[in-house]
């Protein structure tokens, strides 16, 4: 794969494009972000293109232990398409990361090696702690006030990442094998739920007031259903009512009447349960939805790495 660097300098602007590939258990995503720099002003990160494909690798791995040939072919087609999009956008740097499904697949490393040969894309398999750290490198820190306590909840198809921030500092962080694809395939025991409840309760009990920050495609979808403006939090009451409402609809009704995407309509119920449970255990009244995720964190990392290299050269 060939990438071409192209910079536009007009009115002292420096413009570059970065790309991030997030290979999750439910879907894979290609995010292309335009980064705009102007001396004396804060750097702007503009989401230019987002392609999401619901390949659902977790359905293979969590049930069979491997990525099947059928889904490998779909993944290969997707990576070839992503490679062409990255080239066409003249991206200066990209990174591809795979999470829960790929790291648990017995043939995960083999799949990664085959994809690199076929497409030139080097996929990094990261663990839950790496995933949480990458997301934390986004603009998340700008949302975390020094005088407040936050429980950050990132729900994916294969895992849920939890982090407690107090006084602007990461107090505790943990990844659990609790994900929407696992739940709909009846692969989550009561023990896992008990472990997460115990973790949240223990790490938030010292604080009188905790706010929750939610990330992931499902909470973004829920926020859209709420019709609240960007930045306005979702209340525990809303989340509870929403959960009871969507449980009354069949899968077909959620697709047709609520106009949900077919690959969202089945996982949104377990996702809502996870978010709602986290709020309940932390005794939180509100959840903020900044609409950030792993791909945003990857872009931010790439940008920071470039700036660090430039600083060392100067």
**Contact yes or no for 156/100 (Cβ under 8 A):** yes
If one counts every other C-beta atom within 10 angstroms of the C-beta of residue 179, the result is 30
- Would you say residue 280 has pLDDT above 50? yes
Residues 306, 265 share a domain: no
Give the Cα separation of 274 and 271 in Å (integer).
Answer: 5
Which helix (H) or strand (E) covers residue 123, if one does?
A: strand 123-125
- Specify if 6 maps to a domain: no
The verdict on residue 5 lying in a domain is no
**Cα distance between residue 228 and residue 242, in whole Å:** 14
State residue 148's pLDDT score.
85
**Residue 134 falls inside a structural domain:** no
Summarize the confidence of residues 229-248 as an average pLDDT: 95
> What digits encode the pLDDT tens for the residues 213-222?
999 999 999 9
The sheet carrying 28-38 orders its strands as 44-53, 28-38, 13-23, 93-98, 123-125
User: Is residue 146 scored above 70 in pLDDT?
Assistant: no
In a domain, 83, yes or no: yes
| Residue 294 CA: distances (Å) to CA of 64, 84, 134, 206, 239 | 26, 21, 6, 29, 24
CATH number where 287 lies: 3.30.420.150
Tell me if 299 is assigned to some domain.
yes
**Rounded mean pLDDT, 168-181:** 90
Domain count across the chain? 2
The two tokens of residue 283 are 């005794």
- State whether 166 and 193 are in the same domain: yes
Separation CA 94–CA 92 (nearest Å) = 7
Does 201 lie in the same domain as 72?
no
Q: Which of 80-84, 165-169, 222-226, 260-264 has the least mean pLDDT?
A: 165-169
Does the residue 262 lie in any domain? yes
Low-confidence winner among 9-13, 46-50, 118-122, 170-174 (lowest mean pLDDT): 9-13
Q: What is the pLDDT of residue 31?
A: 98
**Are 171 and 279 in the same domain?**
yes
Let me know if residue 46 belongs to a domain: yes
d(CA 207, CA 294): 28
* CATH at 29: 3.30.420.40
Grade residue 292 by pLDDT with cuts at 50, 70 and 90. confident
- Average pLDDT on 195-216 reads 95
- End-to-end CA gap in the chain: 30
Q: Are residues 102 and 242 in the same domain?
A: no
pLDDT at 259: 95
Give the count of alpha carbons within 13 A of 188, CB side only: 22
3-state helix, strand, coil in the chain (%, to 5): 45, 25, 30
Residue 97: strand pairing partners = 22, 124
The pLDDT value given to residue 311:
75
What's the whole-model pTM score? 0.88
- Separation of alpha carbons 36 and 43, rounded Å: 6
Q: Is the pLDDT of residue 139 over 70?
A: no
Q: What is the pLDDT of residue 313?
A: 75
Looking at the fold, whether 186 and 243 belong to one and the same domain comes out as: yes
Identify the three-state secondary structure at position 127: coil
Calculate what percentage of the chain has a pLDDT beyond 90. 78
| Integer Cα distance of 218 and 136 in angstroms | 19
Residues 57 and 113 in one domain: yes
* Rounded CA separation 165/141 (Å): 9
Cα separation, 232 vs 156, in Å, equals: 22
Same-domain check for residues 155 and 280: yes
Residues 189-209, mean pLDDT to the nearest whole number: 96
pLDDT, average across residues 271-298: 94
Q: Which residues pair with 153 in a beta bridge?
A: 162, 214
How far is 55 from 287, CA to CA, in rounded Å?
29
Q: Are residues 287 and 304 in the same domain?
A: no
The beta-strand segments (E) located in 149-263 are 149-155, 160-166, 169-176, 211-215, 234-235
**Which residue segment(s) compose the domain that 105 sits in?**
13-129+295-313
Residue 205 has a pLDDT of 95
**Spatial distance between the Cα atoms of 21 and 72, rounded to a whole number of angstroms:** 16
Half-sphere exposure of 186 (CA within 13 A, CB side): 0
Residues 284 and 299 reside in one and the same domain: no
CA dist 77 and 251 (Å) reads 29
Q: Are residues 161 and 62 in the same domain?
A: no
User: Same domain for 122 and 209?
Assistant: no
pLDDT tens string 52-94: 999 999 999 999 999 999 999 999 999 999 999 999 999 999 9
Q: Is residue 2 part of a domain?
A: no
């Amino acid at each position: 794969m060939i990438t071409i660097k192209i910079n536009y300098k007009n009115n002292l602007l420096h413009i570059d494009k970065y790309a991030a590939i997030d290979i999750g258990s439910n879907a894979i995503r290609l995010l292309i972000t335009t980064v705009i720099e102007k001396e004396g002003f804060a750097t702007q990160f503009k989401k230019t293109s987002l392609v999401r494909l619901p390949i659902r690798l977790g359905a293979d791995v969590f049930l069979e232990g491997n990525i099947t040939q059928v889904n490998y072919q779909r993944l290969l087609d997707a990576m070839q398409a992503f490679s062409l999009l990255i080239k066409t956008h003249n991206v200066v740097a990209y990174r591809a990361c795979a999470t829960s499904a790929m790291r648990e697949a017995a043939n995960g490393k083999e799949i990664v090696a085959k994809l690199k040969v076929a497409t030139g894309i080097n996929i990094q398999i990261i663990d839950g702690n790496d995933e949480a750290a990458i997301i934390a490198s986004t603009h998340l820190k700008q949302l975390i006030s020094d005088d407040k306590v936050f429980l950050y909840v990132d729900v994916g198809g294969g895992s849920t990442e939890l982090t407690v921030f107090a006084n602007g500092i990461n107090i505790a962080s943990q990844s659990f094998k609790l994900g929407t694809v696992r739940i709909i395939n009846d692969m989550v025991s009561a023990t896992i739920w008990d472990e997460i409840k115990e973790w949240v309760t223990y790490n938030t009990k010292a604080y009188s007031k905790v706010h929750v920050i939610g990330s992931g495609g499902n909470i973004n979808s829920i926020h859209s259903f709420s019709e609240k403006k960007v930045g306005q939090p979702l209340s525990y009451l809303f989340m509870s009512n929403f959960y009871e409402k969507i449980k009354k609809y069949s899968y077909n009704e959620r697709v047709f009447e609520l106009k949900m995407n077919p690959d969202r309509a089945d996982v949104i119920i377990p996702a809502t349960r996870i978010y709602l449970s986290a709020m309940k255990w932390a005794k939180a009244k509100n959840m903020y939805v900044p609409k950030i995720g792993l791909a945003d964190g990857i872009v931010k990392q790439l940008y920071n790495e470039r700036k660090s290299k430039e600083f060392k050269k100067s």
